[in-house]
Structure 1
Amino acid sequence: MGKTKNPKYKRAQFSPDGLTVSAVKDLVAEEDDVGDCPAVELLEKLHSPCADMREYACASISRMVQQSKSIPGLLQRHAVRRIGPLMLDNSLAVRETAAGALRNLSVCGGLEVCEVMVQQDVLTPLSALLKECCVGFQTNSTPMKKEPKHTVEDVANEAVNLLWNLCENSSTAVSVFNKAALLDTLLPCLERHPHHIQLALSAAHCLHTVTEENTELAVSVTSPVLAVLENMLLSTEPDMEHILLRTLAAGSVWNLKSCLSPAHQPDALSAVVAALAHCLGLDFGTVASELWQTQAARTADGPAATEEHPAGGAVEEAEDMCELGEEARANRRKGSQKCTWTDKDISDFLPRDRLELRGALALLTAQQTSLEIIVNMCCSDEPSDDEWEELSSSDESEMCADSCTVDENTSLLSPLCLSAELHTMLLNYNIPQQVLKRAEFPSPVALEICSKDSTWRCLIKKMHRVQCRALTCLHNILAAMDTECLGGAAGLQVVAQRLSWLVFSLAGQNGDGSFLEAVTSAMRSLLQIMASKNIPPCMNPQQLLSVCEAATSCDLVSVRVNALAIVGITGSTLAKEAGSAHTLQLMGRVLLHVASRDCNLVVCGEALDALLDVFADGEEAERAAHDIGLLAALKALQPAFKAKIRKEGRAKHRPDQLCVLDNVRINLRRFIGYLESMQKK
């Protein structure tokens, strides 16, 4: 068992836990019983002849949808169809607030609501609005009444964010994006970056989303599109928001690499890797300190950046909007083996006077995005050779005969393989070392700064998130690259020591299950490589027993699986050392307990696989196996394990998991036979 696929990043879906169809129906029924509610009055005000009243109604609905219980009533009363036309209102203010209300609805409603919005034709007025905005950019005039507090760029920013949310959550929206040629409306928004960086960033986020695995769009990409991306990628603006813009451009170029000519691919890829390396090379502690000092100097004659800062409430609201996605991520990942995260950039919700906070958040978002891009560069969707060991030759693996197919892809820059050119570029730009630095715990300087001000505290979670991405990225680098890139045996030992510190230090337990999943995945990959090269492990017996404890106590299945694999890998090496029988006994008892008691079949299979690894060979292993009665225990476990595979295998588990479980079943039978033969000697 003992092998895992490299995690791959999909673009995040902002709030897929929003409201299920049944929940919507239930709450709509409740709304019908009430008969009257604030939504009715606000929806009526949308048709007021007064522009200020229409704006007020849109703004009120924008706030109302942040209470999820109000969403079904609004949908039942066709709010989307009633607000949508106001995106083409004669007033810029009404256009902006209408687009903002629908944007918030898409954020707070989640997958189901976004799908409903698309079905209710929100993309028709949205597309028209974006096209009119593009005309306004070009002519510097619009058919709308001039309003000093509202600009065409502000309207376009809300519209692009709405489009981004819809495309993240709805494949139908992506299909409409392709057919309506909305890519042409994003390009002018991107080109506004010298004048309106927030609009350009929103467009860049949207483009990064819609270009991922979108072959229909890729075939229609033209030279002007690539030229705009190249212009952003090669820009030299030093501020943090432009660094984020370059990172998003790099991600889009990577997504569209199939559109590049063979002659242009190496230069484009080099520019992509250079942008990622520059971003990761910036130390957030240093940047945060400089930005904090700048903020202090700028506000010295005005309100201090303290708890009482008037912008604090707006920042808290922005953080709350982000938390919707965080909760969604946790819910969606339960039972899922794919590494998909929900991390919506909240910078657009922050007050405009918080320039330094915007810059700090932009850098963290850029580093997170850079790491996700590198993860996909080093990702393999194919099973490794040793993961499917013996499956092709075993006549007892009927269960996975139809599912273990290999998708061949020999493209030079395919994410299914790491080409020699890409490997060299990643090394030339010191990407592995940069990733390792980001995997270390956030600097005390940055944590202290972010703890001083309530408006900066949202960055602490973001720092931990960057660390988790770096650990996952390290996992994929270890699996895809030559280990010499980390300094050979000595370098791997150093990395192992750092990861061990993260696993076992209290400082590393940041309360987020994703941290334990990321660090144990990286540790597992590293120990597999070290074992294959006969490099001594870095953990002592006490630490191994701590991992055993984690295997039985953590709620997250992936962490338990990783912990068990770490025990198996390290225990198999420990079994070759003299005097290790006592430790092996303790490990064996814990693994037997997990294999017999854990409610998850995959975890049980990993525990059995670890047992086979630990007690496969060596005098110490034989002595320990005899002392704990391993043969009798495995004989007792075998029938229940086989029955559990037959009962719930196909219904609850993926084909790749079934293949591995079936392999464990076969190896367990063989191992029992081996123990029986040893007992007869």
Structure 2
Amino acid sequence: MGKQKRQRHKSHKENPTGLPSVKEFELNEEFMEGAREKVLQNAYGDVQSCHLEEKLSALQILASMSCDSSMAKQIAKDGIAKIIGPLLMDHNAAIRANTAQTLRDIAENGGEDAYTDLIKDDIMTPLIALLKEYSDWEPKKTGDEKETFVQAVDLLRILCANNESALKCVNDEDLALLLTKFLDINIYGMEIVTITIQCMICLSDENDTAIKKIKEIESILFNLLDLKTDDEKTASKVLALRTCVANLLININNYADSNQIHVFCKVLSVLSEVLAVDHRQALSCLTSILPHENNAVSNDKRKKIYESKKMLELQEQALQILANLCYEDEDSEIDSDIDTSEIMEIVESECLDDDSMDDNLKMTSTFPVELVEIVNNGNLIDKIWDKTVLIVDKDVQEILNQTAEGKDIVKQSHDIRCAAYLCLNNLLPNIEIEVFGGVDNLYRKWLEIGTVIFKDVTSNDIELLEAATAAMRAILQQLAEVRANVFKQLTIDDVQPMLNGARQCSNVSVRVNLIRMLCNLVQILMNNKNSEDHEMIKFISTFLLNICTTETQAWVMAESIDALMDIYAEDETDCLAAEIELVPKLLSLIPHFKSKVRQQKKQLKDSMSVVSTVNANLTRFIKYKQKQIRNLRQKS
């Protein structure tokens, strides 16, 4: 956000390198592999030339080639950090600017392989040295120093967001403190302050060393959060900056701390302001401006496209910030350095008491009342729901997919929906059900989402399926907790889409979401105590048992078994448990389940918590239920 792609230097009238110009390179669609390799090797040589024009031309060639992901990886692998890293300290401003730009493009487009190779080849040493050169710098109206700084800070952001070694270097060299000097808009301007804040967001992500330094200038961040403008031309940039500041403030504060509530009230107000912008209008503007074929676009239209796209990116960012604000890592108490087998032993030792089976011990965190008031007063929930609605229909998508820019718009619309669903998923357990419009409204929303994912979403759109089913799961969880009586005359046909998805979806997370939904659905039916629901409860319970016999993933098996233990935890379910032969069927599953856990223990990662808990509790649950059913039969 707030980042602008620099203007390429104009080609020199002469071509001292004999290489194709940047424009020629970008336009040559038939550029063959052998020719690319030759150009690449020539660029490696010329970038080390003593002639300024040769260096600049070679750097521009490398930047152009690195727009291709595979080429960016190759360039990084070839040791580009060693070749051009020293140029970050070159005496010529244009060389420094182009070098920083080239390295940033390689890092951004090359992915994990590029980050690793750049760090391995010690790009951090010249990069840190360059940034320290700016410790007393103030930008001039002209010159390349501003561009060099922007590109260098963005390169630092990319590396630190993706590599722990880079973050350690930053901590060791106290760069977080250095960056805090560049937050005065009157001196440095909007672009520099924004890119600096974006970098500080990455540095402060669960990094106490950086957080302590940034906390020292919190008052400056508050002032930026209150930044206003009457100029329509800069309004979106100001809002983008304030959103980044909101993100940073969340990283360095904890809303559980009552002394920090005022921070989060201001943050929520900014996010509400961002989400109030009509994304339909932005999308409509884009679809009307974009050409239906690969024709040239005027500068005026291109500017409008850029502004609309930035606003959509801003809304996605706001949703992500909100989601992260409410996110609690269920596995945060488990040390990632502990071996999987040790985790199982720890869980088993902590679950020896039968009272551990009491589901009522589960705690649900809630927002402080001050934040709930902001959510209510700003209609924040309605704004989030609004972002889940499909705006770009299939007909418009077909038109947009004819161009690269159109495809970007379709993806942006899609990503906003996913972010909104995930945001709702994280908000639901933290805010009282009345804030979401009460039981009836939540139930209607659940049906609406179900219609979307089971009828309109293709099975290969895993990202949307995962986000939407997560929101549906969270809604049912809330309805189950308040014992809502909303499912009347439920039929097998009504639940069949969930059953089919739990059986057939290729994505494990989606299958798990559907299984937990089935569990919550049964719990709601049981709470209502309607005799006509008896067969439905038996049907779903049997389905969950059958899944375990065919499932290949230990995590999905664990979730199914955990769902059954939740459903049949109460003594009043003993009769129904006997009807479906719960105990003998669970007993027969134990060898299969434990075998899958042993085979997959290295791959379980985030799902380790539920797998180890089920592994520890299953035998004890079976023994207890076996005893209860035996007593029941003796009484009868």
| Match of residue 461, structure 1, among 402, 406, 411 | 411
**Could you state the TM-score of these two structures normalised by the residue count of structure 2?**
0.77
Q: 1:569 to 1:362 in 2, by over 3 A?
A: same
Mapped partners of 1:447, 1:233: distance in 2 = 38
What per-residue deviation string (whole Å, max 9, x for no partner) do you get for residues 632-663 of structure 1? Answer: 53343244335555665588452453124423
1:355 Cα deviation after fit: 1.8
Q: 1:107 to 1:639 in 2, by over 3 A?
A: same
What per-residue deviation string (whole Å, max 9, x for no partner) do you get for residues 577-604 of structure 1? Answer: 3344554454344323211110111211
Aligned counterpart, 1:379: 327
Q: 1:515 to 1:259 in 2, by over 3 A?
A: closer
Q: 1:133 to 1:650 in 2, by over 3 A?
A: closer
- Greater relative contact order (Cα 8 A, min sep 6): structure 1 or 2? 1
Secondary structure of 2:214's counterpart equals coil
Aligned counterpart, 1:309: 295
Aligned counterpart, 1:246: 242
1:241 Cα deviation after fit: 3.3
Mapped partners of 1:605, 1:129: distance in 2 = 52
Aligned counterpart, 2:11: none
Aligned counterpart, 1:287: 282
CA contact (8 A) 2:177 2:213 kept: no
Mapped partners of 2:574, 2:107: distance in 1 = 58
| Match of residue 200, structure 2, among 207, 214, 219 | 207
Aligned counterpart, 1:558: 509
Mapped partners of 1:225, 1:617: distance in 2 = 51
Aligned counterpart, 2:437: 487
Mapped partners of 2:169, 2:573: distance in 1 = 64
Mapped partners of 1:644, 1:452: distance in 2 = 46
Mapped partners of 1:255, 1:644: distance in 2 = 38
What per-residue deviation string (whole Å, max 9, x for no partner) do you get for residues 35-54 of structure 1? Answer: x8544322110122322211
1:279 Cα deviation after fit: 0.7
Aligned counterpart, 2:347: 400
Mapped partners of 2:135, 2:391: distance in 1 = 41
Provide the aligned C-alpha RMSD in A. Answer: 4.0
Unmatched segments (≥5 aa) in structure 1: 1-35, 297-303, 313-350, 385-396, 405-414
| Match of residue 532, structure 1, among 459, 481, 485 | 481
Unmatched segments (≥5 aa) in structure 2: 1-36, 333-343, 352-363
Mapped partners of 2:153, 2:479: distance in 1 = 48
Mapped partners of 2:404, 2:186: distance in 1 = 29
1:452 Cα deviation after fit: 7.8
Mapped partners of 2:618, 2:412: distance in 1 = 39
Aligned counterpart, 1:435: 384
Mapped partners of 2:171, 2:219: distance in 1 = 17
Q: Percent identity?
A: 23
Q: 1:416 to 1:488 in 2, by over 3 A?
A: closer
Mapped partners of 2:376, 2:116: distance in 1 = 43
CA contact (8 A) 1:572 1:616 kept: no
1:283 Cα deviation after fit: 1.9
1:217 Cα deviation after fit: 1.4
Q: 1:403 to 1:556 in 2, by over 3 A?
A: farther
Mapped partners of 1:191, 1:454: distance in 2 = 37
Q: 1:498 to 1:72 in 2, by over 3 A?
A: closer
User: Which deviates further from its counterpart, 651-660 or 155-164?
Assistant: 651-660
Q: Which has the higher helix share?
A: 2
1:499 Cα deviation after fit: 2.6
Mapped partners of 1:78, 1:157: distance in 2 = 23
CA contact (8 A) 1:531 1:569 kept: yes
Q: Is 1:670 paired with 2:617? A: no
Aligned counterpart, 2:543: 590
| Match of residue 256, structure 1, among 252, 256, 266 | 252
Aligned counterpart, 1:80: 81
Mapped partners of 1:69, 1:451: distance in 2 = 24
Secondary structure of 1:235's counterpart equals coil
Letter of the structure 2 residue corresponding to residue 245 of structure 1: L
Letter of the structure 2 residue corresponding to residue 465 of structure 1: D
Q: 1:44 to 1:504 in 2, by over 3 A?
A: same
Q: Is 1:166 paired with 2:159? A: yes
Q: Is 1:541 paired with 2:492? A: yes
Q: 1:605 to 1:72 in 2, by over 3 A?
A: closer
1:565 Cα deviation after fit: 1.4
Aligned counterpart, 2:461: 512
Aligned counterpart, 2:552: 599
- Count of aligned pairs between the two proteins: 567
User: Which deviates further from its counterpart, 543-552 or 254-263?
Assistant: 254-263
Aligned counterpart, 1:387: none
Mapped partners of 1:644, 1:76: distance in 2 = 38
1:548 Cα deviation after fit: 1.0
Mapped partners of 2:254, 2:556: distance in 1 = 39
Q: 1:89 to 1:456 in 2, by over 3 A?
A: farther
Letter of the structure 1 residue corresponding to residue 117 of structure 2: V
Mapped partners of 1:308, 1:162: distance in 2 = 31
Q: 1:229 to 1:540 in 2, by over 3 A?
A: farther
Q: 1:193 to 1:169 in 2, by over 3 A?
A: farther
